[in-house]
Structure 1
Amino acid sequence: MKVLEEIRIATANLADFASDMTEPSIRLGVTGLARAGKTIFISSSLHNIIHGGRLPRFEAHATGRIGSAEISPQPDNLTPRFRYEDHIADLTDHRVWPSSTSRTSQVRLSLRYQSRDTLKRTFRSDRLALDIVDYPGEWLLDLTLMDHSFRSWSERSFRQASQPLYRPYSKEWIHFSDGIEAMVEEEERGDEPLLETIARQTASNFTAYLLKAKQARGAYALLTPGRFLMPGDLQDSPALTFAPLPDSLYSKDRKSLWAMMERRFEAYKSSIVQPFYRDHFARLDRQIVLIDLLAALNEGPETLAELEDTITEILRAFRPGSHFWLRNLVSRRIDKILFAATKADHLHHTSHDRLEHILSRLVERAAKRVEASGADYETMAIAAVRATREATLTVEGEELPSLIGIPMKGESLGEDEFDGETEFALFPGDLPKNPESVFKHLESVSEATYTTKADSTLEQDPTRVDSKSQQQSLFEDPLCFVRFRPPELDKDANGVARSLPHIRLDRALDYLLGDILK
């Protein structure tokens, strides 16, 4: 199967190379878990490049070497177009954040630029197509299934569900699973085994657990399959009618419930996960990994540990490596990866370097694999759209570096509830001066949090481990966050909104594209 997949990937890469003869292209992977800001990053990047935004650190743009930039027809006619115009209207006209991505979409930005190199200007095209794909963050989790068998995935799923953080949400599914063996034995004594009915009931209970865990744990958990959380066009299809089984049900009988679930698990990988990987991730040249690190930090150490594990596992599925044009004809490699902590506008700039240091430590395990492959990587704190401005508040004679913005309607902070129209100033808090202290606390808390079932105290009270209660172990004072509305923008004479403000979006674009546009 792996050999066949590699042949398919090589065929796709050769087709890309042939089309690049007329217009060279670069495929940028914008990767991130749910609510990490993929749609906002793509929209703001396109808007700033097309409308001459302030990108002083994006050298090709700042020096005027990019002559024109426009959205052109995408190469894949079967993939929906990224709704750029709708997303920009949400950000600039309605001043609301675009809705979460629920399906795959694609956009191609065609650039005309002038190279600084005389030889390049003479022998290479002055055109470049930038292809970007957007997709639900939940689907990204499925990439971790490719190296799992049904049995190993079942073991992982039950192991995760038994952890203290998940027991409150998994107990009904675990209880149902404990009774499956009796149900199977009863059906086998009947005239017509109803394994399909049992399969549907099991999948329904498992999906209910995943949805409850996702709502409680946010986007940090490695909850798979991802399509169970965001089914898209596969809603209620047989492809989503399977679930992990206890190892006691393991059987080599082709007519057993285990065999039925195993076949569907393998079919899910071959018909859904592998094409998703082959069509998008196996053909990437550059990659940015967006991480909502601030939210994880504010949730507590166990959430941070969970995020670290999830990011590390997901990155195993990618194909980093140094650029070599002959090899890349058939086996494309990602030669640059940018790890970006999003929503930097929720912190004062004096804490941005601390955020970057914590990010570097968080992705350390994933970055080692990138380095070993010969690829390059960087870490950065960014905000693709800046929703706040900075100020200084004086409270009881102490000057505090603060933020000013308009909180979203319905947001609250203490006794204050916001109407979505009034500006508000707040001191967001400080990150630790020594970022390594976060992870020292993390190690000690993880030992207490991820215990085995032998811990009788946790068995009696599975809700005892509360992420909110652990904040003091990470910070002297918890961080203070509210969701702000996108900023109000001036418009030019034609009624077009001026460029979206940002934090380090120009640096991110220069790292990802600057060397290609030299």
Structure 2
Amino acid sequence: MSNKSANWFKQAGRAGNPLRRQRLRVGVTGLSGAGKTTFITSLINQLENHQKGLLAQRAPFDRLVSVRWRRDEVKQPFPYLDSLAALSAEPATWPQSTADLSRVLLDLRFKPQGLLGKVQGTRDVSIEILDYPGEWLLDLPLLNLNFGQWCEQMTQWLAQSPRAELAVSLRERLQSLDPQAEADEAELADLAGAWSAFLQRCRSDAGLSRNQPARFLQPGSDVAAQMLHFVPLLRANQHSEGNAKSWWGVCEARFNYYRDFIVRGFYDEHFRHLDQQVLLVDMLTPMDAGQAALSDLKGAMEAVLESFHYGQNGFLARLLRFRPRIRRLALCATKVDKVGPLQQRAVQQCLEDLMVDRLADVRHGGVEIKGIPLSAIRATRQEGDALVAGLQGKTGWVRYQPGDIPAHLPQSLQVNSPQLLALRPPPGLHRNEPFPHYRMDDLVAWLLKGARL
């Protein structure tokens, strides 16, 4: 091939060749406390330092030429620098939990090998990640409910322990409301505040996951405060009705607005076109909290997964422009550095046991599922049979033996508490060095496995 012909092929390859430029839309999904912010921070850090650490030792990163984190041209960019500042402070602290929407755009440039690489030149992959408060996921099941059905569901939940004990006075107030009576806006605002406080107690005191409406805990910047002034009416059901000024009419109208504009808008804009999904689950904390917390996590995660669309579209679906579906799912038990190496796989297995039925449905749709026990930033180091780490809010170090993790999760969901410690980040973290982790390299490689490199 002449030099003139080779140059022509190179120019043609640069002119919008879809084989050279790809975009991977990755949904990082996780409830509050799963560690999404820390995970995304570590992901950017590992890619920025791809020539060091474990990534440098494996394909395709041996062909990775450059990584660019785009922030200036992105609306609401992910607060990477703020997270780095927290992790590198003295003493180090974990990044603040996500309070609103933000976005990550990473440009990766690879140099293909062999003759084809000489003709086509480099190939670009853009990874797009959305960060958002984990609580917001819990609202996705509302898309399948009307206000009356939601009231029935809340009535059932409030009758069961531990919610029944946490909502004694609030439940009495809600039961006293006549759905057909004229609503009192001042009382409704007070009740909405009481409902928010109740949801906070469910999360902090009982370790419960299904706390709706999620924006009562983390409203974000796109919701007017008054539109969150609604509560479940415990004397109502899906057959109830009332005029526009009644408790039913006011609460139903605001619930419908919340469902149709806030929840559906969030879902349609950010989740309908995902290629891959990383599902982060803090399995250790609910195991520590007990049977009720595990049962609530199971219900929450099953409901969330039912809200996504899994499975590969065939040729006919693409021809008819059906929306794309998630093709690959990474299921990750997070924070496994809190237990010993031999127990980390057990934590992952317990997570997969918890979600066995729903995962079977997803696999049946043709989706590739990869289970990866994960620690985005490893806070412990092993010394013999013990772990050594620092505790949040304290100086110095502790040496401890982590509790036992069962090889499989009992069907009763009753397990002995692993007795977790609140650990602080390791010292000496720096942006220009890869953070210590557990299996982040496996996950990053998995993300790029489907790319044509």
**For the superposition of Structure 1 and Structure 2, which TM-score range results when normalised by the shorter chain?**
0.7 to 0.9
Secondary structure at the aligned position of 2:107 is classed as strand
For the residues of structure 1 that align with 2:93 and 2:246, how far apart are their CA atoms? 51
Kindly provide the CA deviation profile for residues 113-163 of structure 1, in whole angstroms up to 9, marking residues without a partner as x: 134586688569701111111100111111111111111111111111111
Match of 2:404 among 407, 426, 430: 430
In structure 1, the partner of 2:421 is 482
- Aligned amino acid, residue 483 of structure 1: A
Match of 1:242 among 212, 230, 239: 230
Would you say 1:82 and 2:82 are equivalent positions? Answer: no
Contact preservation (8 Å) 2:312, 2:324: no
**Structure-2 change in CA distance of 1:134 and 1:379 (3 Å):** same
In structure 1, the partner of 2:360 is 368
**CA shift for structure 1 position 233:** 2.6
Would you say 1:318 and 2:318 are equivalent positions? Answer: no
For the residues of structure 2 that align with 1:201 and 1:136, how far apart are their CA atoms? 24
**Structure-2 change in CA distance of 1:58 and 1:273 (3 Å):** farther
**Structure-2 change in CA distance of 1:350 and 1:25 (3 Å):** same
Would you say 1:439 and 2:410 are equivalent positions? Answer: yes
**Structure-2 change in CA distance of 1:61 and 1:42 (3 Å):** farther
Query: How many residues in Structure 1 have an aligned counterpart in Structure 2?
Result: 432
**CA shift for structure 1 position 248:** 4.2
Contact preservation (8 Å) 2:46, 2:55: no
Contact preservation (8 Å) 1:49, 1:61: no
In structure 2, the partner of 1:129 is 126
Contact preservation (8 Å) 1:32, 1:38: yes
Match of 1:91 among 83, 87, 90: 87
For the residues of structure 2 that align with 1:115 and 1:170, how far apart are their CA atoms? 61
Kindly provide the CA deviation profile for residues 189-219 of structure 1, in whole angstroms up to 9, marking residues without a partner as x: xxxx55434533443333332222222233x
Would you say 1:228 and 2:216 are equivalent positions? Answer: yes
- Aligned amino acid, residue 210 of structure 2: L
Secondary structure at the aligned position of 1:305 is classed as helix
Secondary structure at the aligned position of 1:70 is classed as strand
Secondary structure at the aligned position of 2:88 is classed as helix
**Structure-2 change in CA distance of 1:511 and 1:194 (3 Å):** closer
Secondary structure at the aligned position of 2:371 is classed as strand
Secondary structure at the aligned position of 1:133 is classed as strand
- Aligned amino acid, residue 331 of structure 1: R
**Structure-2 change in CA distance of 1:196 and 1:500 (3 Å):** same
In structure 2, the partner of 1:296 is 286
Would you say 1:262 and 2:252 are equivalent positions? Answer: yes
Secondary structure at the aligned position of 1:439 is classed as coil
In structure 2, the partner of 1:359 is 351
**CA shift for structure 1 position 297:** 1.1
Secondary structure at the aligned position of 1:233 is classed as coil
**Structure-2 change in CA distance of 1:130 and 1:248 (3 Å):** closer
Secondary structure at the aligned position of 2:99 is classed as coil
In structure 2, the partner of 1:143 is 140
Would you say 1:384 and 2:383 are equivalent positions? Answer: no
**Structure-2 change in CA distance of 1:506 and 1:517 (3 Å):** farther
Secondary structure at the aligned position of 2:221 is classed as helix
Contact preservation (8 Å) 2:180, 2:248: no
Kindly provide the CA deviation profile for residues 450-476 of structure 1, in whole angstroms up to 9, marking residues without a partner as x: xxxxxxxxxxxxxxxxxxxxxxx523x
Would you say 1:342 and 2:338 are equivalent positions? Answer: no
Contact preservation (8 Å) 2:87, 2:429: no
For the residues of structure 1 that align with 2:17 and 2:157, how far apart are their CA atoms? 45
- Aligned amino acid, residue 441 of structure 1: S
| Higher helix residue share | 1
In structure 1, the partner of 2:10 is none
- Aligned amino acid, residue 381 of structure 1: P
Secondary structure at the aligned position of 1:223 is classed as coil
Kindly provide the CA deviation profile for residues 365-389 of structure 1, in whole angstroms up to 9, marking residues without a partner as x: 2212211222111212110101111
In structure 1, the partner of 2:13 is none
Would you say 1:509 and 2:444 are equivalent positions? Answer: yes
- TM-score (ref. length: structure 1): 0.77
- Aligned amino acid, residue 217 of structure 1: A
- Aligned amino acid, residue 41 of structure 1: F
Secondary structure at the aligned position of 2:410 is classed as helix
For the residues of structure 1 that align with 2:18 and 2:257, how far apart are their CA atoms? 34
For the residues of structure 1 that align with 2:363 and 2:120, how far apart are their CA atoms? 32
Would you say 1:164 and 2:161 are equivalent positions? Answer: yes
In structure 1, the partner of 2:49 is 51
In structure 1, the partner of 2:196 is 207
Kindly provide the CA deviation profile for residues 261-309 of structure 1, in whole angstroms up to 9, marking residues without a partner as x: 1111111112211111011111211111101101111111221121111
**Structure-2 change in CA distance of 1:361 and 1:39 (3 Å):** same
Would you say 1:403 and 2:387 are equivalent positions? Answer: yes
- Aligned amino acid, residue 398 of structure 2: F
Kindly provide the CA deviation profile for residues 290-342 of structure 1, in whole angstroms up to 9, marking residues without a partner as x: 01101111111221121111110111111111155774665121100111000
**Structure-2 change in CA distance of 1:60 and 1:322 (3 Å):** same
**CA shift for structure 1 position 488:** 2.3
Contact preservation (8 Å) 2:139, 2:213: yes
Map 1:151-190 to 2 at 5 A. Answer: 151-181=148-178, 185=181
In structure 1, the partner of 2:59 is 60
Secondary structure at the aligned position of 2:203 is classed as helix
Kindly provide the CA deviation profile for residues 332-374 of structure 1, in whole angstroms up to 9, marking residues without a partner as x: 2110011100011111101122122212111212212211222
**Structure-2 change in CA distance of 1:257 and 1:125 (3 Å):** farther
Secondary structure at the aligned position of 2:435 is classed as coil
**CA shift for structure 1 position 180:** 1.1
In structure 1, the partner of 2:9 is none
Secondary structure at the aligned position of 1:425 is classed as strand
In structure 2, the partner of 1:456 is none
- TM-score (ref. length: structure 2): 0.87
- Aligned amino acid, residue 429 of structure 1: G
Match of 1:282 among 272, 275, 290: 272
- Aligned amino acid, residue 104 of structure 2: V
**Structure-2 change in CA distance of 1:327 and 1:427 (3 Å):** same
**Structure-2 change in CA distance of 1:211 and 1:507 (3 Å):** same
Stretches of structure 2 that go unaligned for 5 or more consecutive residues are: 1-15
Pairwise CA RMSD: 2.7
For the residues of structure 2 that align with 1:27 and 1:211, how far apart are their CA atoms? 32
Identity among equivalent pairs (%) = 28
Kindly provide the CA deviation profile for residues 28-62 of structure 1, in whole angstroms up to 9, marking residues without a partner as x: 11110101000111110110111234234984354
Contact preservation (8 Å) 1:59, 1:514: no
